[in-house]
Every structure is written in structure tokens, then in C-alpha cells.
Structure 1
Amino acid sequence: MGKFIYQFGLAIVLLSFFGSADATSEKQIRAELQKRLGTSANVRNVTPSVIPGLFEVQVNNEIFYTDSKAKYLIQGEMIELATGTNLTAKRQEDINRIKWSELPQANAIKIVRGNGSRQIAVFSDPNCGYCKRLEKTLQQLDNVTIYNYLIPILSADSALKSKQIWCAADQQKAWNDWMLGNITPSGKSDCTNPIDKNAALAKTYGVNGTPTIFFADGSRFPGAVQLSDIEKKLASLK
């Protein structure tokens, strides 16, 4: 265990459960944790970690750790000191990865710049301030194809704007007018649209905040990411 360290900051949660627990297998640990955490948590998977006696737990789309009797739930990062590798972050990235080929591209507003060779998908709420900030950043990308998936998670007005933008004769213009120029969409909103499907897809992918960017390797960046970080990621995919 000398190779590993737990770094616990302000976000650390250590929950001690009272009473005996006889969990001796991954299946039993999972069942015990599910019972203790309740229906609001989905204990999706339990596997042995690299530290003997400590188990990795996937709750919803987050990584935690527990002991063999499911008495403690630990939130924090596991670092391999020999290499400096953040094992928790790596596993978090793995479980949050999607299959790019399964994205329903017809349900997105497609924007192509230059030769369009580089691809990203962005899940956005039109009323999200961080989404507008990211949109300004994305204007600086060249040779890229951007698939914008409208997901109204903030308000009923977000749903209305999403539908109006989708129903516009020129979707790209309506999108850019609102996100970059603050020109409120005013057209119809009753056309056939994928907004509900996009919201369901976002839920499936565990997207609970906007914006969220997906790359062609299935990895994701949450939030209004810096241009340099996006460029670095795209360069790594060549």
C-alpha cells in the first residue's frame, strides 16, 4: 500500500454505517451499499481496487471506494505515487466514455468550419451562460465539425427557445443569433423536433450540467472549457 495515497479535500465524504455487514463478495457489497444508500443512488458496479481489501464502487456516474463489509463509503482520489497517475480520474474518464458512433447526428445542429475534419459534440441549454461563453470560444476553432445537441434543463423557456431554434428555416443562424448576438428566437416551435430525445440521451450519458463536450474517442469535457484544452485534446486524437 506504500505506492498509493488518498488525497481528501473539502469534498471528501466519509460515511460510517452502524451495525454489522457480512458482505464477502462484490455482489453482496453492491446489495449492501444499495440498501444503505437508498433508491436515490444507483450502485452500478463493484470491483476490487488495486489496494487489497478496498473496492471501487460506481454510484450513478461517480467513483467511490468501500471496504469488504460495506461499512464505509470513501470519496476521494487514488494516486499511484510511483507514476503520479490519478487512478480515480482515469477510471472516471473510462466509465463516462460514450460510443461516438452511436450519437444520433441527425438530432443535432451541425456546424462545419474549414474542412470539418475534427469532430466534437456539445450538449447545451440555450439559456446557459456558460454555454454562451463556450460558444464564443468555439468560434475560434477551425477545420472542425460541431454537433450541437439542444437539451433544455434550466427552464420551460429553455425548451421553447430550443424548439424555436430547431424549427427555424436557418438553424445555424438562429443558434448563432441567440448564443452570440442575444437575438431572441421568435419563430414557430411546433415543428417535429428531437428536443425530448436529446434530453433523454443526455440523461443516459449522465449529462447533468451544460455545456458538456464529447470528443470522437468518446471522452468528455464538462463546462466552459478553455480553447487551449480543446485544441490539445483534438490534437491528441490525430
Structure 2
Amino acid sequence: MTIPIKWLPIVLAAALQPAMAGRAEDALLASLRKAHPATRFDRVAPTPVPGLYEVWMGDNVAYVSGGHVRYLVFGHLFDTRRMRDVTASRRAGGMARQASPETVAGASDGAVDMPAIALEDAITLVRGTGARRLLVFTDPACAYCRQLDATLRRLRDVTVLHYLLPFQGRQLPEAIWCAQDRDAAYARAMADGAMPADPASPCATPLERNLALAARLGVQATPTLVFADGRRVAGALDSDDIEAGLARAAGGTDKADSLARSAHGTHRQ
């Protein structure tokens, strides 16, 4: 087929666009390394925001606008239309094959020693067979935690251990733990942030032990998910990214990679 001459500039531009984008990212990476020689920059990747790039430094990610390499922004990029934590998904999804995954501190093989975890200090949700296990550090006053909870309740064949952290105050987590029906109180709080309907008498809570456990595992954000293979991801992940993490933990790396192709935490508040 002969392409009319008038269309050649458009065709050539479309063909060159990926290569030009790649060169722009390589140039930005080189500029960052030159401007900050003491910092190890691994790679630069585009974001859904035109002109905004991810800058990966090992497990850490920052954002830079175009060629302005003097200023780096650290935090989470959030898609308000899809209610999706873009940064958390990048960490957990397909980009994780290039970035080193976070593993639990103190575990020589990167795996969580599940028998050593105090199960009685968690609010446990069992779905289906409960065969797969997932730890979630959560704060019922955290909006992202409530968003994640709705996703967790749609998973299949999983046991979710919720460890309450009082990052935004002790009143609500204490009231949930001391409620007559703890599971129902937790479910209601995660649905609408409400206090338990029936006031409970004060009781002993595991909040201090949960804080100590979080510190031991290096958890500083809610929500944070810890998979059985030791991978730790902060943020309200979507179901595909959670399934990818569960599959990796079970040894199904290929399946996990295919589930996470949609890769596009919230820190302690």
C-alpha cells in the first residue's frame, strides 16, 4: 500500500513517538544522576500525568516534573476518578519486577514467620477455604483503610488478619476491640467510620502489641499489607494487585505477573 505524501509526517511522528519518549526518560535519568551524584537513581518511568515522571531509587519512588531535577516530590499519586492509589499499585504490580520488593525486616529469607505472629491480637476475616493468608495493618479511622476493606471482603479463599493501629487516635479501635460483637463492630466501622452502636466496657486491648509488631516489621503506614512471602506494600491496592501478591506468595510468579499488568500506601497519618 502506498502512503500519500501528505500523511507521511503523521505516520513518521507516530512511529518515532515511543523512541522519543524513551530518550526523554533516559535523558532525565542522566540529568538526575549528574545533579545528585550521591544518590542511586535506578530508572525513570512516565506517569498518567503528562510531564510528570516516577523516579525510582531502589524501593523508594519520587516524582519529578520534566527537566526540573532540583526538586523531587515524595508521596503518593492518587487517581481520584478511579479511587486508586497509583503509587501503591506501581509498587505491587508489574513494575515490581524491576524494583526490589520490600520484605519484612529481620526475616533472613524474606518470609513472615506466621506461627510467630500473635493471631489472637488480630480481627480475622475468613473467605471461602481461607487457604491463603494475608496480614493487614489498618486503622479504622483511615479512609484508605476503609476503601481497602471493601476490596478484601470480595476476595476468595483467603484469611485476612487485621491488626488495629491507633495512628489516628485510640478511641475507635479500642471501642471496636471491646465491643460485644467485635467482628460486626469492625465491619460497620470500616463501612462508614461509625463507632459501635452499643457502648462497651473498657477492656484490655492489643494495640500496644500491634504497634510493637508493626515496628518490628517496619510498618509505618496504614493500610499496609504483608504477604506470606514477606512482601510488604502500603496503600489501598485493588483486587488484581492483591491477587498478584497472593499468587507470588504461593509461588505462582507467572500468574502474579499476568494479574499485575494493570500497574498504574498511604503513610502514617
Measured against the shorter chain, the TM-score band is 0.5 to 0.7
Separation in 2 of the partners of 1:182 and 1:151? 15
Identity in percent: 36
**TM-score for both structures, normalised by structure 2:** 0.53
Tell me which of 142, 150, 167 is aligned to 1:136. Answer: 150
Whether the aligned pair in 2 keeps the contact of 1:98 and 1:205 (CA below 8 Å) is no
Q: Deviations over 1:37-77 (max 9, x none)?
A: xxxxxxxxxxxxxxxxxxxxxxxx977xxxxxxxxxxxxxx
Letter in 1 for 2:135: A
- The 3 A distance-change label for structure 1 pair 193 and 95 is closer
Structure 2 gap segments, 5+ residues each:
1-25, 39-57, 61-95, 251-269
Letter in 2 for 1:224: A
Q: Deviations over 1:16-55 (max 9, x none)?
A: 7xxxxxxxxxxxxxxxxxxxxxxxxxxxxxxxxxxxxxxx
Whether the aligned pair in 1 keeps the contact of 2:180 and 2:200 (CA below 8 Å) is no
- The 3 A distance-change label for structure 1 pair 152 and 13 is farther
Whether the aligned pair in 1 keeps the contact of 2:103 and 2:230 (CA below 8 Å) is no
Whether the aligned pair in 2 keeps the contact of 1:160 and 1:189 (CA below 8 Å) is no
Determine the structure 1 residue equivalent to 2:133: 119
Separation in 2 of the partners of 1:135 and 1:112? 13
Shift, 1:148, TM fit: 0.3
Letter in 2 for 1:134: L
**TM-score for both structures, normalised by structure 1:** 0.60
Determine the structure 2 residue equivalent to 1:162: 173
- The 3 A distance-change label for structure 1 pair 106 and 8 is farther
Separation in 2 of the partners of 1:152 and 1:228? 28
Shift, 1:195, TM fit: 0.6
Shift, 1:99, TM fit: 2.2
Tell me which of 86, 93, 103 is aligned to 2:102. Answer: 93
Whether the aligned pair in 2 keeps the contact of 1:100 and 1:217 (CA below 8 Å) is no
- Which consecutive aligned stretches of 4+ in structure 1 deviate over 6 angstroms post-superposition? none
- The 3 A distance-change label for structure 1 pair 177 and 127 is same
Q: Deviations over 1:160-219 (max 9, x none)?
A: 111111111211100001111433225236211101110121122221110000111121
Determine the structure 2 residue equivalent to 1:224: 236
Letter in 1 for 2:233: F
Determine the structure 2 residue equivalent to 1:208: 220
Coordinate RMSD, CA, aligned: 3.1
1:149 paired to 2:163: yes
Tell me which of 202, 207, 224 is aligned to 1:190. Answer: 202
Letter in 1 for 2:102: E
Q: Deviations over 1:57-112 (max 9, x none)?
A: xxxx977xxxxxxxxxxxxxxxxxxxx963xx32x524654523222111101111
- The 3 A distance-change label for structure 1 pair 228 and 192 is same
Shift, 1:229, TM fit: 0.6
Whether the aligned pair in 1 keeps the contact of 2:149 and 2:190 (CA below 8 Å) is yes
Higher fraction of strand = 1
User: Number of matched residues?
Assistant: 163
Higher fraction of helix = 2
